[in-house]
Amino acid sequence: MKKDIDTLISEERAEIIKKYEKGRQEGVHINPWEDADYSIYKVTDRFGFLHEEELPTPTAAEDKYKLQEVEREEKWVKMVKKWDKYRNSEKMMKRVYKGIPLKLRGQAWALLLDVEKVKEANYRKYEKMKEQAKKYSTEIKQIDLDVNRTFRNHIMFMERFGVKQQALFHVLAAYSVYNTSRGEEGLSGFFIPGFPKLQRFQVHHDQILSKLLPKLRKHLDKEQMSTGIYTTKWFLQCFIDRTPLTLTLRLWDIYILEGEKVLTAMAYTLLKLHKKHLLKMSLEDLREFLQERIASSFSMSDDAVIEHLQSSMSELRRMKLDLPAPGKRQNVFSCK
């Protein structure tokens, strides 16, 4: 007897979940195409990414940065130990803008987000959501596809169904059954059907261009370059792959501290910094640059870019353009 579509989907979901629960146990079958051969890679950089060729000798600037990183680590260790004293202080905020040291970034993010307090207030909710996802999530197949292509050149994600792939899968699966009835506010608003929050941020970005970069806006319109073409990934991914990795991590530091105003300000900053070049580009060049080449086209240091970002944030705040108008909101965000 033919199986109905719901039964087939249910079986497929169960099979995918089973693979992540087993991980890489002995005897588990993993298709060769799912586990790339990384034996050719010789060097892992300080961020955990693998490279085919040996990395060049560090430059004088890189050596200087490493010394700064050590000094900042010492300051952050002291600050983390006395977090209640430094929480929301001007000193803490300045240090976030200077960049959280790599070794302490995870711990610092957890403190900035009050993770332990959230976990206590939602005791075992994550485990319940994982179980709900196994039964009801309609996104399991898409999540599996996304996990399989996420940072496969990173030491933590290179193994198919490895520990970190398992962790990422379970987080995404649990989140997929989070009730989105809360409306546009919060992270979910960027991803619920129709992308209402993303659209509000894109409309707001257009307004900023019209008021503060009118010449560039006119050029983009002339070339029929819709801002939605490039801002979709800028906003949804918080500039991953659109800025150098070292800068991206610092943007995430500031995003966790300041919130979504960083999205509007950084989008404005990127266009300001590259304005002269953008004004000379055709539609094809604009597409390629803003969607692909921009990350490798920064001629200034991360510190200099962050200074420009701070200036943009101040400018937009003065003009009351730091955030779009709020969208619809309901009260709770609960598990189905």
118 domain-assigned: no
228: left (phi over 0), alpha (psi -120 to 50) or beta: alpha
**202 against 46, higher pLDDT:** 202
Residues whose CB falls within 8 Å of the CB of residue 35, separated by 6 or more in sequence, listed in order: 159, 160
Is the same domain home to 212 and 157? no
* CATH number of the domain bearing residue 202: 1.10.472.80
- Residue 21 tokens read as 């629960």
- DSSP codes joined into one string, 73-134: HHHHHHHHHTHHHHTT-HHHHHHHHH---GGGHHHHHHHHTTHHHHHHHTTTHHHHHHHHHH
Residue 188 confidence (pLDDT): 62
Q: Which residue from 65, 39, 95 is spatially nearest to 244, judged by alpha carbons?
A: 65
Secondary structure of the chain: what % helix, strand, coil (to 5)? 60, 5, 35
**In a domain? residue 227:** yes
Q: What is the pLDDT of residue 185?
A: 52
Q: What angle do CA 258, 107, 174 make, to 5 degrees?
A: 80
pLDDT of the residue at 29? 82
- Higher pLDDT: 77 or 9? It is 77
For the chain, what is the mean pLDDT? Answer: 90
Per residue in 260-283, pLDDT (tens digit) is 999 999 999 999 999 999 999 999
Residues 128 and 163 in one domain: yes
Q: What is the pLDDT of residues 210-250, one digit of tens each?
A: 999 999 999 999 999 999 999 999 999 999 999 999 999 99
List, in order, residues 6 or more apart from 310 with CB less than 8 Å away: 97
**Predicted pLDDT of residue 334:** 41
Determine the Cα angle at 148 with ends 146 and 153, to 5°: 115
142 with 218, same domain: the answer is: no
At residue 299, what are phi and psi to the nearest 5 degrees? -100, 5
Question: Are 192 and 170 in a shared domain?
Answer: no
196 and 166 housed in the same domain: no
Q: Which domain holds residue 149?
A: 5-30+124-176
Same domain? 300 vs 232: yes
Amino acid at 7: T
Dist. CA 170–CA 140, nearest whole Å: 10
Binned at pLDDT 50, 70 and 90, residue 82 comes out as: very high
Q: Are residues 226 and 277 in the same domain?
A: yes
pLDDT the model gives residue 70: 92
Do 171 and 259 fall into the same domain? no
If asked whether residues 150 and 211 sit together in one domain, one would say no
For residue 335, pLDDT over 90 is answered with: no
With bands split at pLDDT 50, 70 and 90, how would you rate the model's confidence at 179?
A: low
Q: Which of 66-75, 92-101, 186-195 has the lowest mean pLDDT?
A: 186-195
- Pair 231, 201: CB distance under 8 Å: yes
Model pTM? 0.84
pLDDT at 248: 97
pLDDT tens per residue across span 300-326: 999 999 999 999 999 999 999 999 988
**Straight-line distance from the first to the last Cα atom of the chain, in angstroms, rounded to the nearest whole number:** 33
Closest CA to 335 of 190, 188, 198: 188
* Most confident listed range (43-47, 59-63, 147-151, 327-331): 147-151
For residue 290, is it within any domain? yes
Q: What is the pLDDT of residue 336?
A: 40
Confidence at residue 101, expressed as pLDDT on a 0 to 100 scale: 96
Checking phi first, is residue 71 left (phi over 0); if not, alpha (psi -120 to 50) or beta? alpha
Number of structural domains, the chain? 2
pLDDT digits (tens, 9 = 90+) for 116-146: 999 999 999 999 999 999 999 999 999 999 9
103-107, 153-157, 193-197: least confident range: 193-197
d(CA 257, CA 128): 29
